Amino acid sequence: MSPHTNTGRKNVLSIFFLLGCLSMSGWVSAAPATASVDTIAGRQVESLTIKNPDTNVSIVFENGLRATVGGWDKVIESLAPEASIFAYNRPGYGNSQETGTARDGGTIVEELRQTLKQKGLAPPYILVGHSLGGLYMQLFAKRYPEEVSGLVLVDPLLPGVVKKSDEFPFWTRGAKRLFFSSAVNKEIDAIHQTSEQVLSLAPIDDKPIVMLINKPKGATAVGVDFGAFNKDQKTREAVNGMYPKAKRIVLDSDHQVQRQNPAEVVDAIRGIIAKQAPGI
């Protein structure tokens, strides 16, 4: 075996690992036993809905790439006594049926709103999104600010950070196609489009926003870069200038903040609940 062949295989394995990190979530987890599957707009949607008649607070969770509703278990368990809860799997995840519709954020937001309506959960919502799900929730809040009372963005993907997928390096594109499902590939390919959708809309600086950001301090914590991110100065400045009034909380955590630090996520959501005006 030639050294070049060996190096090529190592590169593929490295990209596979790094894309697992980019997956902006983590390995797929099983859905809670209480999740149900319903027919919505002609397709099967797996979701967890908890209606709490004693509160006027509705919390909506959006998963990161490749993740399912089970990732929020500890957070939901803590908040269920004090709020109505909705968490679900997007098409192609868990037991949710894959769809032929586009996988850009605009489509995903509209599908989510349709599902919430059918489930009988009325706005305003506290939107909670992890990683790529955080990008979708930013778009939801910007498109429908009157339906949103606040956001908790858990190690979120911010618009403009990820390149167009056809600008990814060869190894990255190959590993993405080889190791990820059709649904995941479609979402990755639409990230740039979703970012443009977010950036095209008016600011939401009047909304209470909490951003939980992971910055692991361990000796083994290594930043990854496999050519999928825009790291130029212009992008850095744009990202740093987003949501200037947001509360930023930096945690010593891995990307799975809701699993490793569920109490901090719960506290952030409760902080948004406390800001809701009486009678909302």
What is the total count of domains within the chain?
1
Distance CA 263, CA 187 (A): 29
Domain range for 256 is: 36-275
Q: Are 118 and 40 in contact (CB under 8 A)?
A: yes
Q: Are strands 84-88 and 43-50 parallel, antiparallel or unpaired?
A: antiparallel
Domain membership flag for residue 27: no
Q: What is the pLDDT of residues 141-187, one digit of tens each?
A: 999 999 999 999 999 999 999 999 999 999 999 999 999 999 999 99
Query: Is 105 contained in some domain?
Result: yes
Instruction: Judge whether 14 lies within some domain.
Output: no
Predicted local distance difference test score (pLDDT) of residue 31: 40
Q: Is the pLDDT assigned to residue 243 strictly greater than 70? A: yes
pLDDT at 202 over 50: yes
Task: Report the range of poorest mean pLDDT among 56-70, 110-124, 135-149, 218-232.
Answer: 218-232
Q: What is the mean pLDDT of the chain?
A: 86
The predicted pLDDT at position 266 comes to: 98
The angle subtended at Cα 184 by Cα 9 and Cα 152, nearest 5°, is: 120
Decide if 1 is inside a domain: no
From the number of C-beta atoms within 10 Å of its C-beta (0-12, 13-18, 19+), residue 110 rates as middle
In a domain, 55, yes or no: yes
Does a structural domain hold residue 18? Answer: no
Distance from C-alpha of 154 to C-alpha of 59, rounded to nearest angstrom: 14
The pLDDT > 70 percentage for the chain reads 84
25 part of a folded domain: no
Yes or no: say if 126 and 152 are a contact pair by the CB < 8 Å rule. yes
Task: Tell whether the model's pLDDT for residue 201 goes beyond 50.
Answer: yes
Stated as kind and residue range, the H or E segment containing 213 is strand 209-214
In a domain, 5, yes or no: no
User: Burial letters for 216-247: b for 16+ Cβ neighbours within 10 Å, e otherwise?
Assistant: eeeeeeeeeebebebeeeebeebeeebbeebe
Strands 125-130, 209-214: pairing is unpaired
- pTM attached to this predicted model: 0.87
CATH code of residue 124:
3.40.50.1820
